[in-house]
Amino acid sequence: MSDSAAIPRRPGEAALVSLGHAIPDGDPADSSPHSFPDGGRWRTEVPSVEGPEALHTVLKEAARLDVPVHRISQGSGVWMLTDAEITEMVDATAQAGVELCLFTGPRGTWDIGAGTRTASGGGGLRARGQSAVAGCVEDALRAVSLGVRCLLVADEGVLWVLHRLRERGDLPADTTFKVSALIGPVNPAAVAVHEGLGGDSVNIPSDLTLDHLTEIRRVSRVPLDFYLEAPDDLGGYVRMHEIAELIRRGAPIYLKFGLSKAPGIYPYGGHLRDLTLETARERVRRGRLALDLLARLGADSGDTGKDTMSPLGARLPGALNRFPMPAG
């Protein structure tokens, strides 16, 4: 087993052992054998960055707190941004060496269908009908024409259509597709399906256990996106204390710095400006807290976690398993 997959020190381990409350030893077989193509085991993401002003706020705060950022993602959708706003975001992230990911839409929760407002949730955030699929494709084509190279997708059919367009050359070959937490798969077979459909990273729900991550890694090496702290509408889970184990078992993994106990901001507009900027700053601060903890857990072995982080600017996922393209 490589040093990068070594079992990290567990929080409070030495103190508990001294009191006779030893923590069970971890199993080296649980360590993920996978990494990003650059050799890194983890990358970072700041989500819910809704527009140029919020993006500049994140970049400024990340520089102030020395928080490495690989990806910045937006949740309201391509259709909620003007061409000038998208271009400004593309230019700012390119200058900072950060990947920009914008959401395709429309999505079910903003549709006229009542199913998403029922107790069962209906079809959820998926694209409802052919016109919604067409809207997502339109968003994707517009975004890539303005320089965006990462698209968020919340529908399996849309994912497959966009992947086929990428394979045919209608979308640039280096375009990546990120499967949204809003439809995140919860078992290894489902993760493998999203990989086969064209997903380049898959956001799994933050209520999955460490054992669930190990199960996923036995069938798929697609990068996982994981909220260390999830928004309330995704459960509000706080998993920062497990950061080292999440990397060990889930690599390659994007550590997402979300925020619980915060009002929703989708779809974003100027009426939510102050809230959006304040929560953007706090997401970066949460990232600093998480990375400080990761450094402390590696202190005994001399591994601060930095040597297992992908280089800043890295964005591609490496070779993944895909379903065959249909004939014709």
Q: What is the pLDDT of residues 65-119, one digit of tens each?
A: 999 999 999 999 999 999 999 999 999 999 999 999 999 988 767 777 656 666 6
Write out the two tokens for 61.
Answer: 């705060």
> Does pLDDT of 188 surpass 70?
yes
Phi, psi torsion values for 150, nearest 5 degrees: -140, 130
Chain-wide mean pLDDT for the chain?
91
- pLDDT exceeding 90 applies to what percent of the chain? 74
Exposed / middle / buried, residue 289 (Cβ in 10 Å: 0-12, 13-18, 19+): middle
> Does pLDDT of 2 surpass 60?
no
Q: Does residue 309 contact residue 40 with C-beta atoms inside 8 Å? A: yes
> Does pLDDT of 189 surpass 90?
yes
Task: Report the helix count and the strand count for the chain, using DSSP H and E.
Answer: 9, 8
Write the pLDDT tens digit of every residue in 208-265.
Answer: 999 999 999 999 999 999 999 999 988 999 999 999 999 999 999 999 999 999 988 8
pLDDT at 244: 93
Q: What is the mean pLDDT of residues 3-25?
A: 76
Q: How far apart are the C-alpha atoms of 111 and 59, rounded to whole Å? A: 33
How many residues in total does the chain contain?
328
Cα Rg for the chain, rounded, in angstroms? 19
Write out the two tokens for 312.
Answer: 């800043």
pLDDT at 107: 77
Write out the two tokens for 138.
Answer: 């339109």
pLDDT band (50, 70, 90) for residue 4: very low
Write the pLDDT tens digit of every residue in 121-134.
Answer: 666 678 888 999 99
Write the pLDDT tens digit of every residue in 138-181.
Answer: 999 999 999 999 999 999 999 999 999 999 999 999 999 999 99
Q: Which run of H or of E encompasses 94?
A: helix 83-96
Query: In terms of Cα–Cα distance, which of 158, 177, 170, 143 is closest to 71?
Result: 177
Q: How far apart are the C-alpha atoms of 276 and 236, rounded to whole Å? A: 18
Name residue 177's beta-bridge partners.
151
One-letter amino acid of 273: R
Place of tokens 């400006």: 273
pLDDT at 302: 52
Write the pLDDT tens digit of every residue in 33-65.
Answer: 999 999 999 999 999 999 999 999 999 999 999
β strands within 124-200, DSSP E: 150-153, 176-179
> Does pLDDT of 207 surpass 60?
yes
Q: How far apart are the C-alpha atoms of 242 and 154, rounded to whole Å? A: 27
pLDDT band (50, 70, 90) for residue 16: confident
pLDDT at 108: 66
Query: In terms of Cα–Cα distance, which of 126, 15, 138, 128 is closest to 78?
Result: 138
Q: Specify the CATH class of 32-109+121-308 in words.
A: alpha beta
Model confidence, pTM: 0.92
Name residue 103's beta-bridge partners.
152
Q: What is the mean pLDDT of residues 16-36?
A: 85
pLDDT band (50, 70, 90) for residue 299: low
